A and B are shown apart, each in its own frame.
Chain A
Amino acid sequence: MSLITPDFGLLFWMTLIFGIVFFVLAKFGFPMITGMVKKRSDSIEQSLREAEEARKTLKELAAEQKKLIEEARKEQARILNEAAANGDKIVHDACEQAKIQTNAMIEKAREEIRIEQETARRQIADEVAGLAIEVAEKLVRGHLNTAEKQSALIDRMIEEARASHNPVN
């Protein structure tokens, strides 16, 4: 039966043409297509992996951000507390300083008052001494208005001076 007997002519053409088709497609057709498809699927896979990584990084960043904000808030609170304490201290210091200065001024004032008092006392003493001398002069003048009274006084004074020069006698 001719149906199941391979025909030589057709076998010849089949070998030739299939050979050419195979050569052309294997060289310019299929490797190009499968290569590109593989490349694309690889790149998609890589993109997915990168997206996953990016998501992870984003998550980490968000966590870090949260941590930073928390830290900043703590820092803020700390600074505020410190500022309040500092303020108190400054006020306290100022008070202290003021007290010291006031004391110093009071002390100085007292000193001045004392010096003034001293000066005043001296002046009073001088004046009193002047007055006493004046009074004494007037008194002496009244006592020594006669010559015998004057010579009597001179004698007494000489006596006194002798006594003070010769205490052994």
Chain B
Amino acid sequence: MSIAPISHFFILSPRGDTIISKDYRGDVVPGGTDIFFRKVKFTEGGDPPPCMNIDGVNYLFVRKNGLLFGVTTRWNCSPSQVIELLHRLAKVFKDYCGTLTEEAIRKNFILIYELLDEMLDYGYPQTTGTESLKSYVYNEPIAVEPSKSLRIPSTLGAKTNPSSAAHKPITGSTGGAKQRNEIFVDILERLNVLFGANGQILNSSIDGCIQMKSYLSGNPELKLALNEDLVIGRGQTSTYGAVVLDDCNFHECVRLDDFESGRQLTLVPPDGEFVALNYRITAEFRAPFRMFPSVTETDALHLELLLLVRADMPEAQYGSNVVVSVPVPRAAGTVSAEIDPRALPGQSAEYNATAKRVDWTIKRFQGGTEQSLRVRVTLTQPCTATTRRELGPISASFEVPMYSVSGLQVRYLKIADAGKAYNPYRWVRYVTLSSSYVARVG
């Protein structure tokens, strides 16, 4: 029995205050959110699993921008459905309020309740599309200035670095200001790469998606074409150099009539942000940065790490905000980190003594170049095998703009039946990001 309703939806602030609480079925346990919050807060080593049963009540939750989105249910529900729903609610709130912050939600609480009333009935999810909700919702959103200092870094924020245009509420058209007719298409590829100590790639995968955010008036039909030689499913015959996706899935607005023949998606984009296509690649690809660590034990109390990082991508490309983190042994006394004097400008290497970690930041890492870092560690006690093992693993985070590692491309994005006069702005951006980018040491 998994057609099961939820009883209670709530949003808690990072301090545990209830910001929004909606009881759908009249069987809410008083004080339940407090019990839940304590459980989340006092779980060691990060968040507890997203589904828990406390005293016969099931709690499911996700974290969004530091806020806790949770539900309770007494039924044997489908947890994936509830979690997807929570992500969806967060997205719709973000679409309507512009940003997803405690302030924005507090300011718009009436709107949020109105949305919640339409999105679920008696705990059963109904309409959750930003677009279709517009016809049922009457409250106007109140915009919140996104203030840099107050914003809690979002976990998903790393996905995009959108222009400020992408922060406005979607129903802002009535404000009187003229609406820009534009659509953003982002091809995001998140990389999971694991290097062995010799620099060889042990495991790698690309976790990609085509994310769209539409501000097009009239919601026209679009045609989005991908590489003609795109292959889906490993083990299928493919031409040399073709992009091979292991698997992919589509947003429900996407029609695939011309996908088999012309690799073309037909879609009527709903308002707001959505992911048209998710894909997964495990075939080999050129990792944009390769890392070569080598450790020498100069004497019993001194360790030295030389780390070479090569940007293995075309010279026109560059990695931005590259941060390479090197954990050092717990027994480290003094640590010095030294950048190659002939290196590119805009680099810094800092040792964080509490976290026992060296962070090496390279603002702009040009393709085809090689950078190096030398870390000298003086130990407080003689080096053992364990001490050596504590040096590493090295992890990197970066963003490569206008580059897709897989080679997946948008050939064109057309408005299906538009006259000459209708020519909205179309922004197609490629971004390659690190997800888990790790090199083992020795």
Whether A and B are associated in the same complex: the answer reads no
